[in-house]
């Protein structure tokens, strides 16, 4: 093998290394963005999971069966407790018809528009405190009645079905 040949090989190797460097440089920003997206989505999901797990009242749409855990009865009255924090939970509730009913909206360090609570059908508009319990009289509902509450923007909602 001559000196010229060795030089040729070395130069080819050098070029190859240079090309690899270029690939790394051009790929990096894309990879960085991807990593950031993964981290963001990951922490968002973790937040969602921990916030719905600590609700006590029950998780959101998926974890919800009939929302019956939100309904209690005491002295011939029905009490429905809904947590308002980053939405309403449970979101669907089945309650009893023909019994005086009080809806208790519970806030706990709630800072979003879920505090601007409305029940359009009943003309109810209540601003919930950041933390506390707000009682709303729903009267006695007939079987088949459905009472729906929303935030002022209609972004979050909760539905109570009476039967």
DSSP category for residue 57: S
Candidates 26-34, 40-48, 49-57, 152-160 — which segment interacts with Cu ion by CB under 5 A? 152-160
Let me know if 116 is exposed, middle or buried by CB neighbors in 10 A (0-12, 13-18, 19+).
middle
- Pick the binder of Cu ion from 138, 151, 158, 160 (CB under 5 A): 151
The two structure tokens encoding residue 58:
């029950």
Other CB atoms within 10 Å distance of the CB of residue 63: 13
**Least CB distance from residue 150 to Cu ion, whole Å?**
8
The answer to whether 147 touches 120, Cβ cutoff 8 Å, is: no
For Cu ion, give the closer residue by CB, 71 or 136: 136
When asked if residue 155 is in the footprint of Cu ion (CB under 5 A), the reply is: yes
The minimum distance between CB 88 and Cu ion, in angstroms, equals: 10
> Is 12 a binder of Cu ion (CB under 5 A)?
no
Residue 85 and residue 109: Cα distance in Å, rounded?
7
Shortest CB 121 distance to Cu ion, Å: 18
CA 4 to chain centre: 68
Q: Which tokens sit at 60?
A: 């959101």
Report the site for Cu ion in 112-131 (rule: CB under 5 A). Answer: 113
Taking the alpha carbons of 82, 106, 88, 103 in that order, is the dihedral positive or negative?
positive
Both structure tokens of 37? 């997206």
How many residues bind Cu ion (CB under 5 A)? The answer is: 4
Which CB atom, from 95 or from 114, has the smaller least distance to Cu ion? 114
Residues 46, 120, 153, 163: which binds Cu ion (CB under 5 A)?
153
- In the complex, what is the shortest distance from the CB of residue 117 to Cu ion, in angstroms, rounded to a whole number? 10
Residues that bind Cu ion in the complex, under the rule CB under 5 A: 113, 151, 153, 155
């Amino acid at each position: 093998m001559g000196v010229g040949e060795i030089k040729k090989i070395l130069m080819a190797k050098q070029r190859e290394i240079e090309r690899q460097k270029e690939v790394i440089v051009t790929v990096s920003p894309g990879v960085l963005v991807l990593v950031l997206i993964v981290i963001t989505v990951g922490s968002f999901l973790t937040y969602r999971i921990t916030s719905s797990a600590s609700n006590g009242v029950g998780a959101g749409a998926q974890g919800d069966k009939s929302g019956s855990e939100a309904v209690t009865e005491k002295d011939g009255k029905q009490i429905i407790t809904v947590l308002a924090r980053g939405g309403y939970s449970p979101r669907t509730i089945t309650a009893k018809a023909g019994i005086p009913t009080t809806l208790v909206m519970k806030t706990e360090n709630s800072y979003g528009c879920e505090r601007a609570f409305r029940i359009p059908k009943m003309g109810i508009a209540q601003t919930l405190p950041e933390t506390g319990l707000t009682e709303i009289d729903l009267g006695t509902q007939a079987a088949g009645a459905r009472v729906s509450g929303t935030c002022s923007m209609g972004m979050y909602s909760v539905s109570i079905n009476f039967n």
